[in-house]
Amino acid sequence: MIFCNGKTSYNYYMKYNYPKVLINPIILSSSSAANAKKRLEDLVNEYKVIKDYLV
């Protein structure tokens, strides 16, 4: 599974990697401090989706 940290990483992934691997990514909100729109608690809950793919 591929996870993108924000829209910019998604755009780069789709441009450079997706054509080679053909795996659709899961887009997560950016964890950058510049992206203070979401509360930390909301980001933590959103990022918990990653645990479902770890074994």
pLDDT per position as a tens digit, 1-55? 999 999 999 999 999 999 999 999 999 999 888 777 888 899 999 999 999 999 7
Supply the pLDDT for residue 55.
78
Domain boundaries, the chain: 3-53
User: Rounded to the nearest 5 degrees, what angle is found at the Cα of 25, between the Cα atoms of 54 and 42?
Assistant: 70
Total length of the chain? 55
Reported pTM: 0.83
Q: Which of 54, 11, 55 is nearest to 30 (CA)?
A: 11
pLDDT given at position 50: 96
